[in-house]
């Protein structure tokens, strides 16, 4: 009898916990489909679903939101100073501000800035050369934030430069994501720390503060030197991003070097992440930029699951819905939700040149198969989907008409829309837009334009597999 009572208590506790999770889902869900899937699973299979939900089920990064509130006064003061800089385009009446650019600025919680200069960095070799050069020339501090860091040749080169700069008296703050950098040896971080670097891991696994959650990841790639030069884009700190330069399969990627007041926006995004991960607030250079190196207008757009809105989803929808002539999107992962897919279809139906560039060879077999399931409805609406042929394409780039372009870390999938912390640099410079246009045009020439037959002519088993995987799109 006591044994039976113990089992009954355990069963009751599991169902009570499941009901508490269902309450949380009902009060916080973002998509009805995902909420219904969790609710039914928690009721039918609580023994399996309950631990799974506790690991990956939440849609809001509660701990980060709390930390944001705690650090909000200091960050708000810095943001106010940023908005008051003479290079910040603050007034909605400014001739540069269209409605859609105002929306982007509000999503970013930052202003557009004038007087910047950007360099488009195509592929790993050009990017790493620029990253290394920037760090070598840093005089006061270096801020790093990367999703993937490996202890390979690139990782060791980075570590060597940082240790040398630390010995010269340059401060280093090094932030990495624990999941993305899962294989990074503790020795790597320990040696950097012993050399004097400030290091931290961005995760939700601090059990002491009861915020364990594996589903949220910091997918940002940021480097800032002295508050004057910054980098953002798709490239992580690992050998595979060099591709052919390392005698590996070609790797196609895009990064961006920014010099000017927009770097303050990168630094603000980095600081908020650092404050969350380390509970510290380092002193950095926030001085206004008077001697600006260019005339480009740039907005830094950080997005993530701690935002009040689905900021990344709204960013994509804003770009697609306001396109007048074309919207070209390059993304290694194409698993859009219903609202984004509908927006793409409507854009194509109203005569917009809608092109999606994805890789032929994917680093995720599952996501690569899921993309096929969208092919028929895309082609019927007039959306052109290209598969890049020479190697793996990992860039995240958007081009809207001839008006602006964006280079960053966000993919066209649910994880970037709702679960990852991402960051994007939006540039309205005509010259930079032309460079991105030329780059993507060359990429399309090396790609295969798909049609319905690429899906319909495949085996029934293949088509069923693609459709079945698509059901799991919210988790991919």
Mind telling me the catalytic residues?
219, 221, 226, 394, 396, 401
Distance separating alpha carbons of residues 417 and 162, to the nearest angstrom: 33
Count of CB atoms situated within 10 Å of the CB of 329: 25
Count of CB atoms situated within 10 Å of the CB of 380: 12
Contacts of 296 (CB under 8 A, 6+ apart): 114, 115, 116, 117, 118, 260, 427, 428, 429, 431, 432
Q: What is the CA radius of gyration of the chain?
A: 23
What's CA 204's distance to the chain center, in Å? 17
**What is the token pair recorded at 373?**
């399931």
**What is the token pair recorded at 445?**
């020439």
Owner of token pair 């601090």? 206
DSSP secondary structure letters along 209-266: GT---SS-EE---EEEETTTEEEEES--BSGGGGGGGGTSS-EE-EEEEEESTTHHHH
Kindly list the distances between the CA atom of residue 14 and the CA atoms of 10, 22, 49, in Å, as whole numbers in the listed order: 6, 12, 10
Contacts of 129 (CB under 8 A, 6+ apart): none
Contacts of 459 (CB under 8 A, 6+ apart): none
Distance separating alpha carbons of residues 396 and 157, to the nearest angstrom: 25
């Amino acid at each position: 009898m006591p044994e039976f009572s113990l089992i009954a208590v355990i069963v009751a506790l599991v169902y009570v916990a499941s009901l508490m999770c269902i309450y949380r889902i009902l009060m916080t869900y973002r998509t009805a489909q995902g909420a219904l899937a969790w609710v039914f699973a928690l009721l039918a299979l609580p023994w399996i679903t309950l631990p799974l939900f506790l690991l990956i089920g939440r849609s809001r990064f509660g701990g980060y939101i709390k930390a944001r509130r705690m650090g909000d006064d200091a960050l708000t003061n810095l943001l106010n100073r940023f908005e008051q800089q003479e290079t910040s385009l603050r007034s909605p009446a400014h001739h540069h501000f269209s409605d859609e650019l105002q929306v982007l600025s509000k999503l970013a919680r930052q202003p557009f800035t004038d007087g910047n200069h950007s360099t488009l960095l195509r592929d790993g070799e050009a990017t790493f050369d620029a990253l290394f050069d920037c760090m070598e020339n840093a005089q006061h501090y270096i801020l790093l934030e990367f999703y993937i860091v490996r202890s390979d040749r690139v990782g060791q080169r980075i570590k060597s430069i940082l240790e040398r700069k630390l010995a010269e008296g340059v401060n280093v703050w090094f932030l990495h994501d624990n999941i993305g950098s899962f294989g990074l040896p503790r020795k790597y971080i320990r040696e950097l720390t012993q050399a004097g670097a400030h290091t931290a891991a961005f995760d939700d696994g601090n059990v002491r503060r009861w915020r364990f959650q594996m589903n949220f990841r910091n997918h940002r790639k940021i480097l800032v030197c002295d508050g004057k030069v910054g980098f953002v884009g798709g490239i992580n700190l690992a050998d595979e991003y060099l591709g052919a330069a390392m005698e590996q399969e070609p790797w196609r990627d895009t990064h961006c070097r920014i010099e000017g007041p927009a770097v303050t926006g990168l630094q603000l995004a980095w600081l908020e992440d650092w404050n969350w991960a380390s509970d510290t607030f380092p002193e950095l250079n926030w001085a206004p930029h008077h001697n600006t190196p260019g005339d480009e207008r740039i907005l830094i757009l950080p997005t993530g699951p701690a935002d009040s809105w689905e900021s990344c989803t709204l960013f994509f929808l804003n770009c697609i819905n306001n396109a007048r002539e074309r919207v070209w999107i390059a993304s290694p992962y194409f698993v859009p939700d219903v609202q984004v897919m509908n927006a793409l279809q409507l854009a194509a139906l109203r005569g917009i040149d809608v092109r999606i560039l994805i890789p032929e060879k994917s680093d995720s077999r599952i996501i690569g198969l899921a993309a096929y399931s969208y092919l028929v409805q895309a082609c019927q609406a007039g959306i052109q989907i290209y598969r890049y042929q020479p190697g793996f394409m990992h860039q995240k780039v958007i081009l809207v008409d001839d008006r602006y372009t964006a280079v960053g870390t966000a993919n066209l999938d649910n994880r970037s829309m709702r679960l990852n912390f991402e960051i994007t640099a939006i540039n309205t410079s005509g010259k930079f837009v032309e460079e991105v246009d030329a780059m993507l045009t060359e990429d399309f020439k090396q790609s295969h334009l798909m049609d319905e037959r690429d899906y319909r002519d495949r085996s029934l088993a293949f088509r069923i597999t693609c459709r079945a995987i698509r059901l799991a799109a919210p988790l991919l």
